[in-house]
Structures are given as structure tokens and as C-alpha cells.
Chain A
Amino acid sequence: MLKQEYTLTVYTENQIGLLTRIAIIFSRRKINVESLNTSPSEIENIHRFNIVINETEDVVRKLCRQIEKQVEVLKAYYSSNDEIIWQELALYKVPTDQVAEKVQVERLLRQYGARAVVIRSDYTVFEATGHREETDKILEILAPYGLIEFVRSARVAIIKKSKGFHEKLQQFEQSEPGEEVIENEYLGDNAGVFSM
């Protein structure tokens, strides 16, 4: 199986130490995390992690199960790039005089969707969101003109086929473990259903 980029979406409780618990699942297996973002989700006290790694699907599936095993984790999904919509945010700080004179700023703004966030006499900060190659392209354009500082955020991603987590959470919280046998209408659709 070939390695490719996967984005893990992990819903968790908001608990001190959980980041370590999740991070060591990767580091123990010597898997490099390409990008990690965590933030509150749309549900109170539920956080959402986006973790990007380069691995085979088999390994990623096992990683998700190990992550789900953590007490404070509600659910972990994994998606290939064509199954998600994702963005990264980048900020570029450049000398204003250089940019004004030498860069086709208008083209930068229009063609690459950049935005000037701050314009001062000494520097200007542009912001752009997009895929890595899009933000890289702007970096390439600005680099020769005295780029002072550059920063890029981790990936944030929405799963295309996800129907929203509210429903899943309700299903998860309502299912009392082990009380009765539940016929599973999603048999065989492992990615779309709670496996726990």
C-alpha cells in the first residue's frame, strides 16, 4: 500500500494532557505529524483536532482505533485529500517600499486571493488562505523582495460527506454499552459509522 496524505479528524473532550496522549500515539510509531490543529468545535466542551500525516491507509486506520481508545476521545475519522475540503492560512510580512515598487500587488491580491492586513510605512502584512501550493506560490513571489517574516497555520478541514457531528454525538451518548444487541444498518460501511 502506498503512503499518502491523510487528515485525521478527532472529536475529544477538552482535557489537560489529552494532546500528549494523542501525540505519543504517533511518536511511539515514529510517524511524523505534518500539521496539527486543535480548536473548540461547534459543540460545547467538545474539541476538534485536525492532524495531517503521510501514511498508508492500513496504518492510519489502526492509528484511529488507538486514538479512539483514549478515554476522552469520542471519535476519530480519517480522510484522504479528495474526501475533505481544507484550508491553511498564511501571513507574509514584507517591506512596504520594496513591495510597492517591485511587486505587482494588484495581481497578487486578485490572482492569488491575498489580502493586505496591515499597511505601514515600514512593512505590509498580507494574508492568504488556501492549499499548500497556493500559499507557497505567494511565498515564491514575495521571497525575492525582502520577506521579513512568514508563518503558516496548520490545516483545518471539513469532511465532505459528513452530516455533522451533532447527530453522531447524540447517537454516541445514547448508546448504553452492552445492554442490547443493536442491528447495524451500516454493516460494511466502517468509515461512516461508530465502530465502538
Chain B
Amino acid sequence: MSTVTAIEKKPEATTAPATTSISGSVAVLEAFIAEGVSTIFGYPGGAIMPIYDALYDYNDKLEHILVRHEQGGIHAAQGYARTSGKVGVVFATSGPGATNLVTGLADAMIDSTPLVCVTGQVFAHLLGTDAFQETDVINITTPVTKWNYQVTDATEIPHVLAKAFYIAGSGRPGPVLIDITKNAQLQKFDYAGYQKCTHIRSYRPKPIVRKEYVEEAAKLINAAEKPFILFGQGVILGRAEKEFKAFVEKSGIPAAWTILGESAIPTDHPLNVGMLGMHGNYGPNVLTNECDVLIAVGMRFDDRVTGRLDIYAKQAKVIHLDIDPAEIDKNVKSTVPVWGDCKETLPMLTDLIQPKTYPQWLAKFNEFRKQEEEICIYPEMHPTDDVMSMAEVMNLLNELTNGDAVIVTDVGQHQMVACRYAKFNQSKSNITSGGLGTMGFGLPAAIGAKYGAPERTVIAIIGDGGIQMTIQELGTIMQFGAAVKIIILNNQFLGMVRQWQQLFHDKRYSFVNITSPDYIMVANGYHIAAQKVEHREQLRQALTTMLNHNGAYLLEIMVGKENNVFPMVPQGCSVAEIRLK
């Protein structure tokens, strides 16, 4: 079958008068405008040239950011989507252009980031002939997209794009890829306007809420003595921060976050007890194996959060709130599943629970916090030797930004340190590659984050390994003036791998010693202001200069070479076996 069956029940938006003749390329851009797209990240090439040609006339309506590599383009769109809460949009050409998107698609898929990627494709009559720059993009991207579709006829474009935006942004969000052959981009057809998609025969973005399960969950919570909340990105994606805060405050239950859930409630909230998982806080990890009712909200029990599953929270009754039915019982068997959008289910649950406090139970978290503070946090934030630590940089940054900045991280030790120590006052502030752990994510994602939240200070925190993976995007900053503040925490190692080699491979440091270019010269080459900090006494002034600088700024901070990130749940261990040193 060559058509898609999107049943549009409630037409909402219509652009262009009925039956004008337009090209497929113009139809793509009209669809974007109707969907409220204002920023596109992309890179042109042969097979997407008709769309770029049409874009020439849409300069005043659509801002196109020319990245330096398609991977940079899709990570930027991810950063944009995560700070703005909108669907990120990417253009790439066929063949290598499209395959360069794959890492970002996989990242967006596992982190539920809404994207619509449009790739050019060779002429339809050349499909399957190994034509120049032809790859089977649909089959390559199938495992890493929520949905994908190849358009070979321009008449399909309006409803396929409507379907794409609907699928990407609804339910559990995700990336969608639309591959458009060059003939379809060039082909003129009678255009009857654009209708948003609001219904697809086979697609239910939100499961039906089972009220009796919500009641069952409330009963368990009301009877609990040591309940514990774990929250994830579902709270942010569901725009349910307010509802979640109300639930936490009425229930009085301590709540801990996954790294993608961070910032859903303020860091300083008295019931926010910290970070879960491999490098999370001591208390939340240990007490996971002590609580009697575990309430998981919009999180998926990732293995970096649970450690060994066979001894994970076995004593607890588990209530799992999730929009994706496939997540229920996937990793941790739930006692009561609550399918649904947490924006709807949380208020239902809040209504049914009794207002309570758990002073003794909460005090246990604080006791663990004190131990962690003494053994780990304080020494890391206030080192006594000359060597700067990542934690002290974060500590100072918190003080100077007052918790209002968007922090974008790359992947590695600095990521865990940043997530552990950054303070946030508002939602959508912690942008990081969670599930895929994509090195190279930080710099381009920060560019996108700045476009998604132009009024906010965006600080990218990146290791010396990750920055070198997508360093070319400094060119994008140069050309488009994205005012991103970049902090390179340089420990002259691929630090996280080195840490593992130290702890689990007898210090056999195999290919983790990475040298860096002169980042200041590199930044200056891109006309980006930069400074290197080698001594502690320079740090405060350098951070202040960076934050006050009007425009992009790169700060390279030399930190301890062999510092480790603790606490740590060693792989294959229970969360209760978390090590403080």
C-alpha cells in the first residue's frame, strides 16, 4: 500500500487557499509553518536541494541553522526540543547525510525526544540501484525511530508530515524520520491546504487510565510507612511538574530523580532527596532496598538506576506510573500499574491520598546525606590540595548562576559530577544524553538548547574527550552567534573509562590518555572568546567573566587527572552496595 491512513477527525489548521499548485518542497515548508516550527537545524546536499531551494524564499519565516555535521544538527535539535518542549526539526541529505543522523536518532529514541527529521533521497526510479548517495535510510533507521516513512509522491507530503508531527510529539515522544525522494520534492501538485493530524487508526498515544488501579495505588500509599518516590523525565515530558509537586507535597514522601528527571522539581525542595543510580546519592540508593512502597513516576528502571535487578527493592510494593504500557513490568514487576499520562494520573492519585509526613523516614535520608557529605561531597567541593576538582567548579557555578541556568552536559565523569551537583530552580534545565550516553552530544545540544530557550543562560559542560568528538560545531556558533558558554573540564583522560580501568581492570590504562589541542587557539580561530584556568585563584573571576560576556565563551579548566566520581554502584551490584570511596 502506498498511502498512509491518517484519519483526521478534527481539522485544526489550514494554510494556503484550496488547490494551488505547489511543489513537494514548498509543501514541506508549509507543513513546518503550520506546525509552529521556527528553527530548523540542517545541512544541505544533492538529494535535498529542492527543499533548500524552496527555503531560500522562506528565510523570513523559518530560521535555518547550518551546522557543521549532521550529527551536530540532530543533537542541536534534541537540545532545542528538550529546552523548548517543542518538536525539533532537522534536514539532511541522502546517503552519508542521513546515516550521520543515526547516532542522534538512537539518542532521541532512548531519551524520548520529539524530533521530525527530513532526509532527501535519490529519485524514486533510482531506488534500490545503489545510486550515488543512496542508502536504505528507512531500514537503517527503523530500530531507532518511533516511526519513519518514505515519500515518493508529493501528494503524500502534507498528510505524512502531519502524521509525523503528531507521532513525534504525542504520547511517549520520539524521533520520526521522513525520507523524501528528489522527484517528490520537485513534483508540483494541487495543494488543498494543511490539516493537522489528531487521530491515527492504529495509534493510541495515551493508554486508557484505569481508575481502579489508581485507587489501589492510593490505598498502598496511605498504608505505607516508608514510601519512596522515584521520578524520571516523564514528569517533564508530560508537563506535569506542578501536578508532581502537589503530589509530593501532599503525600510527604521523599523523592529521588533519574538524571533525565532532574529539574522537574527544584533541587532545594525539602522532599527532594537526590539522584538515583550508579553515581547517584548514597541515601536514595541504599533506601531503595528498605522502603515498603516504591512509587515510580515517568521513569523506566534503566539498569544504570537499578543495578542488579534480582535484588532490587524486593521488599517493596511497586507502583509504576507510565504512559508507555510496554514499560510496565519490563524491568521491575509492579504491584500496581498505573497506565497513563502522569499529568492526568497524578492529580487523581493526589486526590485520593491522605496528607502525611514521614519525619523519621526522611531523617534516614538525611543521615545518609550527612555521611555522604562528610566522606564525599565536602572533600570534592573543597579540595585541600592544589588540584582543582570538577565538583568545586560546579559549586561555584551554582553560586554564580543561582540555579537559573540551563546546564547541558556531554558524557563521562563531568556529566555525573554536573548532574550530582548542579542546582536547578526550574524545569527543562538539565540537558544530557541519558540512555545512549553519547559522547559529542554536549556542544551541539547546547547550541540547540540556546535556540530553544534564548532568554536563559546556557552552559555546556564537556570533557576533553567529548568536545573533540563534535568540536566542529564551534563553527556553527561562530556563524550564527549562539551565546553558549562552554566549560571544558580537562583531566587529560577519557576519565570515566580510566576510572573503570582503575577500579575493575587493575589500573591497566588502555588508550584513555587523550591529548588536547590548544582550545584557546581553536576557539580564537572561530572568533570565540576563551580563557584557560589552571589555578584555583583564577576560577571565580574566569567564571564571572564568562557569564558576563555578551556572546559565546569557552573556558578550559584543568582539573585533577585521576579524580574519581563517587559514590558508585559497581556494575553487577545491588544499589544498596553503593560505595562512597
Contact = CB atoms under 8 A, between A and B. Distances in A.
B212 A184 contact: yes
A20 interface: yes
B142 A178 contact: no
Contacts of A15: 1, 4
Nearest to A64: B326
B202 interface: yes
Interface residues of B, number: 39
B207 interface: yes
Contact of A16 (B2, B201, B203, B209): B2
Given A12-B202, A15-B1, A68-B326, A187 B210 contact: yes
Contacts of B213: 187
Contact of B138 (A17, A24, A28): A17
B545 to A, nearest CB: 49
Contact of B324 (A24, A69, A173): A69
Contacts of B139: 17, 20
B206 A177 contact: yes
B143 interface: yes
Contacts of B210: 182, 184, 187
Contacts of B203: 71-72
B5 A45 contact: yes
A196 interface: yes
A195 B213 CA distance: 13
B205 interface: yes
Nearest to B207: A196
A187 B212 CA distance: 8
B142 A21 contact: yes
Interface stretch (B36-44, B312-320, B340-348, B458-466): B340-348
Given A71-B146, A182-B209, A184-B210, A175 B204 contact: yes
B38 to A, nearest CB: 26
Contacts of A20: 139, 142
A66 B325 CA distance: 9
Contacts of A17: 138-139, 142, 148-150
A65 B330 CA distance: 9
Contacts of B341: 178
Contacts of A61: 329
A73 interface: yes
A68 B203 CA distance: 9
B508 interface: no
Contact of B1 (A16, A62, A71): A16
Nearest to A73: B202
B325 A68 contact: yes
Nearest to A194: B208
B4 to A, nearest CB: 7
B364 interface: no
Nearest to A188: B212
A182 B200 contact: no
Contacts of A21: 142
A178 B340 contact: yes
Contacts of A73: 202
A72 B202 contact: yes
Contacts of A38: none
B167 interface: yes
Interface string A1-44: 00000000000111111001100100010000000000000000
Contact of A175 (B138, B149, B208, B339): B208
A184 B138 CA distance: 39
Nearest to A23: B142
B500 interface: no
A101 interface: no
A64 B444 CA distance: 37
B206 A178 contact: yes
Nearest to A178: B206
Interface string B553-565: 0000000000000
Given A13-B5, A181-B348, A194-B208, 13 more contacts: A12-B202, A14-B1, A15-B4, A16-B1, A65-B325, A65-B328, A71-B202, A173-B201, A178-B208, A187-B210, A187-B212, A195-B339, A196-B208
11 contacts: A15-B1, A28-B143, A65-B330, A66-B326, A69-B324, A71-B146, A71-B167, A72-B203, A178-B341, A187-B210, A196-B207
Interface of A: 12-17, 20-21, 24, 28, 45, 61-62, 65-66, 68-69, 71-74, 172-173, 175, 177-178, 181-184, 187, 194-196
Interface of B: 1-2, 4-5, 138-139, 142-143, 146-150, 167, 200-213, 324-326, 328-330, 339-341, 344, 348
- Top 8 nearest A-B pairs (CB, nearest first) are A65-B326, A178-B206, A177-B206, A181-B211, A14-B1, A74-B202, A71-B147, A196-B204
